[in-house]
Amino acid sequence: MNDKEGKIFIDKPAGWSSFDVVAKVRYQIKYETGLKLKVGHAGTLDPFATGLLIVLCGSETKNQDHYMKLNKEYEATLFLGATSTTGDPEGIISKKDKVNKVTKAEIEEVIKIFLGEIDQIPPQYSAIKINGQRAYQLAREGKSVEMKPRKITIISINILNFDWPKLTLKIECSSGTYIRSLAFDIGEKLGCGAYLTALRRTKIGKYSVDGAHSLEG
């Protein structure tokens, strides 16, 4: 499994945390080679999400920041007409009452609003540190979390499929973008609410999920 350049491309399955993947790769390298290497990853994927995770080994871990700053590409499926406390299927789902179905034309107009550099408020359930504690830890404790907006860039958004209430988008964006927040904001602009039901990272910079290693089996 070990890449001679110190990079391993993993197609992360749903249900695995990024830390789980790193631990699996570290164990596999030690099992196959007997080497105890430093192993890390270049960009977290939430457990429910799938797709490309770049795992760095040995001296390549020193280049983590380079990979973290690369643009990302995602395929995101939104459920319209409801919201989630976490922005994804793992939260408490609240369906909106008396929601008018939106049209594809309305969606196309709304997503244009988010193109280019925008201010985005990260989700409360995120790994961002606030006074030394992870935001998601504070949120789980029921504490009020004030998330400050960040500058991000949405390079492109395209509709891949729309069949109410499900909307699938292809999104290319800068590092630091939270697709859960983007989904929430799109739902707000549409007036119906939205949360992610599926998220797949297909590219990090020039690197594609095509041909990435599977952890299944």
161 and 76 share a domain? yes
Please state the domain count of the chain.
2
> Is 158 contained in some domain?
yes
| Same domain as 175, residue 99 | yes
Catalytic residue among 3, 11, 20, 46: 46
Answer yes or no: is 2 within a domain: no
CA 4 to chain centre: 27
Give me the half-sphere count of Cα atoms (radius 13 Å) on the Cβ side of residue 192.
21
Compute the distance between CA of residue 126 and CA of residue 101 in angstroms, rounded to an integer.
30
| 128 shares its domain with 191 | yes
- Dump pLDDT digits (tens) for 33-61: 888 889 999 988 988 999 999 999 999 99
Using an 8 Å Cβ cutoff, are 170 and 158 in contact? yes
Same domain, 114 and 156: yes
* Structural domain contains residue 199: yes
Question: Do residues 187 and 209 share a domain?
Answer: no
Whether 46 is catalytic? yes
User: Which DSSP string corresponds to 93-161?
Assistant: EEEPSSPPPPPHHHHHHHHHTT-EEEEEPPPSSSS-EETTEEHHHHHHTT----PPPEEEEEEEEEEEE
Q: Would you state the pLDDT for residue 97?
A: 78
Task: Classify residue 49: in a domain, yes or no.
Answer: yes
Amino acid at position 131, single letter: N
The verdict on 131 and 182 lying in the same domain is yes
User: Which ranges of the chain have pLDDT less than 70?
Assistant: 1-5, 124-144, 146, 216-217
Q: Is residue 1 situated within a structural domain?
A: no
Residues β-bridged to residue 167:
78, 162
Is 87 a domain residue? Answer: yes
Give the CA radius of gyration of the chain. Answer: 18
Token pair recorded at residue 104: 């594809």
How far is residue 156 from each of residues 71, 104, 114, 120, 124, measured CA to CA in Å?
11, 17, 9, 16, 25
Range of the domain at 26: 7-69+205-214
Q: Are residues 113 and 155 in the same domain?
A: yes
Torsion angle defined by CA atoms of residues 187, 192, 198 and 202, in that order, rounded to the nearest 10 degrees:
-30
Query: What pLDDT is stored for residue 126 in this prediction?
Result: 53
What pLDDT does 29 receive? 87
The answer on 94 and 62 residing in a single domain is no
Q: Count of alpha carbons within 13 Å of 60, Cβ hemisphere only?
A: 18
pTM for the full predicted model? 0.88
Same domain, 47 and 105: no
pLDDT at 138: 47
Same domain? For 76 and 141 the reply is yes
Domain containing residue 170: CATH number: 3.30.2350.10
The Cα 170–Cα 179 span in angstroms is 11
Examine the domain organization and report whether 210 and 173 are in the same domain.
Answer: no
